[in-house]
Structure 1
Amino acid sequence: MNKLQEQELFELETQQQEERKVFVITDLNGLNWAFRKMSAIQAKLNEVKQLADAERERIAEWEKKESASYQDDLAYFSHKISEYHASVLANDPKAKSIKTPYGVAKSTTSKSQPEKADEQALIEYSKTNELDFVEVETKEKLKWAELKKTLSVVESDGELVVVDADGQVVPGVAVKPETVSFKVEVSD
Structure 2
Amino acid sequence: MMENMAEERKERFEVVDASSAEWCVEKIAGLEARKAEIDAQYKKMIERYDKWRDDELKNIDDSVSFFHSLLRPWVFEELKTSKNKSITLPSGRVGTRKGKETWTLAGKEFDRNDPALLVIAKSIDKKYVEIKESVKWADLKKNLQVTESGSVVSEDGEIIDAFHVEQGEPKFYVEVK
TM-score w.r.t. the length of structure 1 is 0.45
Q: Which has the higher contact order (CA 8 A, sep 6+)?
A: 1
